[in-house]
A and B are shown apart, each in its own frame.
Chain A
Amino acid sequence: MSNSLRVLSIAAGLALGLNGCGFETRAADLRYGTQESSRTALAEHADVLVRLETGLVERFGEPVAPRYPALAAWADARFDPAQPERAADAGGSGELSGEALERVRADNAKRFVRELAAIERGDFDDVAEPRGHPALFQAFRALVADPARPLEERRIAARALFLDFYPTLAESAELYRIECLHCHGTAGGGDGPTANFLEPRPRDFRRGVFKWTSVKDGGRPTRADLVRVLELGVYGTSMPSFRRLSEAERQGLADYARFLAVRGEVERQVVLAYEDEEELTDATFDDALDLVWGKWEKAPKQVVTWSGPIPEPTPEAIALGDRLFHDAAKGNCSACHGNEGRGDGPVAFKIDDRGRKTAAYQDAWGFDILPRNLRRDPFRGGRRPIDLYRRIHAGINGGPMPAMSSNLTADEIWALVHYTRTLAEKALEDELAARAELGGR
């Protein structure tokens, strides 16, 4: 018996002792670093590369504490570098309208429904750390732990904390770390560890070129465009819908993606300027920032819209679309997308030195690109008629799809939109045909 007691006490002691100890679950230390292109361009100017990086870190911070550099113009608009989109009277740029903020609040009530219910009960200990929001949780703990304030007051403040939640850039960076980084990379280069396995590759934000936008003339996307991609995903690629995140979280991630894009573009602009002028000063950075931000500011003015209700898909319109699709002088879509819309048009391919059929075009990021199979692949930028209208009207940034607005009238573009949509119906037809063929064998 004494033997078994000894065994038991050793076992229990060790088990309790070890299970009691906390484990340190540290987040990763990440750095933005510099782009491959900068390192190549400045390969022989190591000191300039160092100054480039320090300059960027000074202005944009690192992933634990990212911040917008303060432009002189922004100071006038009371631009808060930590939360640039807040309404103007809250110290922001005014990009987030009151209506949008209402949406954010309503969605917060849904996102934090468990937390709010626990607060309602006064059961503060029952509030677990919301996924991806250590800072919010810390603020909450500090608030409810304050013994000086009466319980009711703490409860109201805690409610407001969750209901009014809108992430700072740093909080969005943390969410980006756990949701986006493994594909899009720390600095938004589209070079995270998972990226190598994806086709198409994740977007490299650092050129400011985005494909699924509502704007023409190769403009920067509007903030709403970025939010929409987060909401719907890019169907047919590895970019999923992020509607499981809250409105505030998506808005914040869109801000952060734009921040990474601006940072990347500024870096490229500074390197270009250095190559021109052979010097790198604070002014180089400021000029680059002005130039880059100017493009982003312009985006809302470049949106392609249609006034009035969109035209009906009449049989005549579809027939016209069919003609334009195959007409080499007008739409000429079949040259790339193929006669039946299967994405197998002759122009899209070339025969390489070893006699293999490969893509004729590369996209802005240097990867092979093929035309969509319109019968089978979903429309990536959305399947609303207006989305397709924008695609044909303004082309696709970064890819070979041209803007047709100079070649076609608006009515002709609508005819093509409707014809293209009828092609998408063929997916099931094709599948059933394939099955019938198998069954007949």
Chain B
Amino acid sequence: MRRLTVLLIVLLAAACVWSFVVAREHGWWFPRNVSAFGERIDHLFELITWIAGAVLVIVFLLLALVVWRGARAGRAERAHGDTRLEVAWTVLPAGVLVFLAYDQLDEWRELKYAGSRPNVPVTARVVASQFDWHFVYPGRDGRFDTLDDLETAYELSVPEDEPVVLELVSRDVIHSFFVPALRVKQDVVPGMRPVIWFEARESGAYEIVCAELCGWGHYKMAGELAVLPRARFDARLVELEREFASNGEAAR
């Protein structure tokens, strides 16, 4: 049983490492990042993964080793501890942990603190309700809650390579606005109107996911983020305007 246990421990460590090594090629990794800030989050993730991975491998090898060594003859030493060792393995991880904590203070501040918000008008308002995303653009007057507001369901268009500020509103329960490709997630709590910002660097269509349980239809609450070059974004707003002013003669 000793060898089998050692084998199991080594196998488990190998499986952990394997599951991360092959993750990218199987698409088990984060979707490709397209936000200006996401890179720094990914970098932090990788840093933590490397540290955690190293710790895991060391601990598992030690565990395998101590289990392996148990077969020797004679009795164990009746040793109750060693203060120097205790201090060592308290201080060492503490150093790593303090480094880890310190290393992400800047990211968090720039990601979330209100002072870091880019000084641009709100691009769109995201209205969440069971089980739908609606998006409101301020229209030509640049103000919300006026007659020329433009509204779409499902698809949010934003300009590429520009800071985008969104105001999030919930009509009923808590939802969460999650765009995996942008590394953006923010709960939408009714009664609060959180504001988020990001800069998308690549045009394309990305998934919007609801990440907070909002009822039976939670899984259906998908949306799409269309990142468009500025000119196409403007054209999209004009298209919405035209659709809004439809007189019903076109078939749709």
Contact = CB atoms under 8 A, between A and B. Distances in A.
Direct contact of A and B (CB under 8 A): yes
Interface in B123-158: 129-132, 134, 144-147, 151, 153-155
B71 to A, nearest CB: 11
Given A243-B154, A243-B224, A313-B147, A235 B4 contact: no
B217 interface: yes
A78 B205 CA distance: 40
Contact of B244 (A3, A228, A313, A384): A384
Interface string A1-24: 101110110000000000000000
Of the candidates B131, B146, B246, the one having the most CB atoms from chain A within 10 angstroms of its own CB is: B246
Given A4-B1, A235-B153, A428-B144, A194 B246 contact: no
Contacts of A244: 154, 222-224
Interface string A418-434: 10011001011100000
B244 to A, nearest CB: 5
B221 interface: yes
Contacts of A8: 4
Contacts of B246: 310, 384, 386
A309 interface: yes
B238 to A, nearest CB: 15
A236 B134 CA distance: 11
Interface residues of A, number: 47
A233 B217 contact: no
A306 B247 contact: yes
Interface in B163-179: none
A307 B249 contact: yes
A125 to B, nearest CB: 14
14 contacts: A3-B1, A4-B3, A194-B216, A224-B252, A228-B252, A235-B132, A240-B220, A241-B154, A306-B247, A307-B247, A310-B246, A313-B147, A384-B243, A422-B147
Interface of A: 1, 3-5, 7-8, 97, 110, 194, 197, 214, 224, 227-228, 231-233, 235-236, 238, 240-241, 243-244, 303-310, 313, 378, 383-386, 389-390, 418, 421-422, 425, 427-429
Given A383-B151, A429-B145, 20 more contacts: A8-B4, A97-B251, A110-B205, A224-B251, A231-B153, A233-B132, A235-B129, A240-B220, A241-B153, A305-B248, A305-B249, A306-B248, A309-B247, A310-B245, A384-B243, A384-B244, A384-B245, A384-B246, A385-B245, A425-B146
